Amino acid sequence: MPILSLQNISKSYGSVQALSGVSFEVPAGSVFGVLGPNGSGKTTLLGIVTDVLKADTGSFTLFDRTPTAGERRQIGTLLETPNFYHYLSGYKNLEISAAIKQRGKDDIARVLEICGLTQRQHSPFKTYSLGMKQRLAIAAVLLGDPDVLILDEPTNGLDPSGIAEVRELVRKLADSGKTIILASHLLDEVEKVCTHVAIIRSGKLLLSGAVNEVISRSDYVEVSAEDTNALRTLLLEYPGCTGAEIQGTIVKALFAVAPDAAAINSFCAKRGIWLSHLHVRKKSLETAFLEITNIPA
Q: How far is the CB of 121 from ligand ATP (least distance, A)?
A: 31
Tell me which stretch binds ligand ATP (CB under 6 A): 41-49, 62-70, 257-265, 282-290. Answer: 41-49
Pairwise CA distance, residues 289 & 109, whole Å: 41
> Among residues 104 and 157, whose Cβ is nearest to ligand ATP?
157
Q: Does 274 bind ligand ATP (CB under 6 A)?
A: no
Q: Does 33 bind ligand ATP (CB under 6 A)?
A: no
Q: How far is the CB of 48 from ligand ATP (least distance, A)?
A: 10
Among the listed residues 25, 31, 42, 165, the single contact to ligand ATP using CB under 6 A? 42
Q: How far is the CB of 20 from ligand ATP (least distance, A)?
A: 11
Within 13 A of 194's CA, how many CA atoms are on the CB side? Answer: 34
Residue 13's alpha-carbon distances to 6, 33, 53, 83, 203, in angstroms, are 20, 24, 11, 27, 12
Q: Does 30 bind ligand ATP (CB under 6 A)?
A: no
Among the listed residues 24, 25, 26, 41, the single contact to ligand ATP using CB under 6 A? 41
> Among residues 42 and 120, whose Cβ is nearest to ligand ATP?
42
Residue 131's alpha-carbon distances to 123, 125, 159, 160, in angstroms, are 15, 12, 8, 9
Q: Does 204 bind ligand ATP (CB under 6 A)?
A: no
Burial tier of 66 (Cβ tally within 10 Å: 0-12, 13-18, 19+):
exposed
Phi, psi of 24 (to 5 degrees): -165, 170
Q: Does 97 bind ligand ATP (CB under 6 A)?
A: no
Among the listed residues 72, 110, 185, 204, the single contact to ligand ATP using CB under 6 A? 185
DSSP-derived pairing of the beta strands 148-152 and 179-184: parallel
DSSP code of 80?
Answer: S
Pairwise CA distance, residues 140 & 103, whole Å: 11
Q: Does 21 bind ligand ATP (CB under 6 A)?
A: no
Among the listed residues 33, 36, 154, 259, the single contact to ligand ATP using CB under 6 A? 36
Tell me which stretch binds ligand ATP (CB under 6 A): 20-28, 39-47, 98-106, 164-172. Answer: 39-47
Q: How far is the CB of 184 from ligand ATP (least distance, A)?
A: 9
Pairwise CA distance, residues 112 & 107, whole Å: 9
CA-nearest of 105, 47, 97 to 72 is 47
Contacting residues toward ligand ATP, per CB under 6 A:
13, 16, 18, 36, 38-44, 185
